[in-house]
Structure formats: C-alpha cells, structure tokens
Amino acid sequence: MPLLSAARAVRENAHAPYSGFRVGAAIRSGSGAVFTGCNVENVAFPQGTCAEAGAIAAMVAAGQREIAEVAVIADSPAPVPPCGGCRQKLAEFAGPDVPVTLATLTGETLTTTVGALLPGAFSGLHMGRG
C-alpha cells in the first residue's frame, strides 16, 4: 500500500470528537515496513496524541528506530504540517533529508523534508551523544 494511502486509511480511525479534525500519518521505516497512526483527542487538553506520534510509537514498539519516509493527511484547505512537538519527534528517528509528504483529502500535496520542517533540530549531539 502506498504510504499516502495508508495515512488516508488510518485517518478514518481518528478519535476527534472535540475538534472534528482527523489526521492520519504513515511512516516507512528503514526496513521498508509501514507504521500508521491517527490523532486521538482527549477532553483534558492537551492529553491527546498526534497522528505522527502514534505512528512513531508503533514503529518503536515493533523494535525499529529509523524513519525513511513520512506522509501526513488531513481534511484541510492546504496540506497540514506536523506540530512542533511532532517535528522534534520525527527528527529523533529521521535524518534531515528524509522526505515528508503533506496532503489534503482533495489531492493537494506538498513534499518537504524533516530538515526543512525543523531547521536546527535539537539532537543527541547537543548533549555530547551521537
């Protein structure tokens, strides 16, 4: 299944009763496996989980640690980028050149990279690790 199709499919499972804004994310790991996540809202804001964070958690739970590609889709007028926290989460497992495809349900897409989304990312190098 293409990555954007996987993100679109998992978006249908989002739990967004408060905002009504459902997001789906899919990541391809370094091994080629695809992991998906959808946003899960909670009435006690900000205790929800972003779609990107869910996909990353699924990848890590499967024992993988490298992101090779990302896709995010939402029902919006323009492609929606990950929030700041998810940009940092993506940077933890992806190099700056990893492609990120952002899409709308109507087919508009924008392709960027993790590095363009989060220039100057904080990393283990800043802590003397890595």
Binding residues for Zn(2+): 50, 83, 86
| Annotated catalytic residue, options 12, 41, 52, 108 | 52
On whether the CB atoms of residues 13 and 27 are closer than 8 A, the answer is no
The sign of the torsion formed by the CA atoms of 92, 97, 98, 102 equals: positive
Q: Is 92 an annotated catalytic residue?
A: no
129: tokens are 């690790």
| Tokens found for residue 120 | 């100057």
Which positions make up the binding site?
A: 50, 83, 86
CA 37 to chain centre: 8
Pick from 87, 92, 93: nearest CA to 116:
87
Region for 2 from its dihedrals, namely left if φ exceeds 0, alpha if ψ lies in -120 to 50, beta otherwise: beta
Tell me the catalytic residues.
Answer: 52
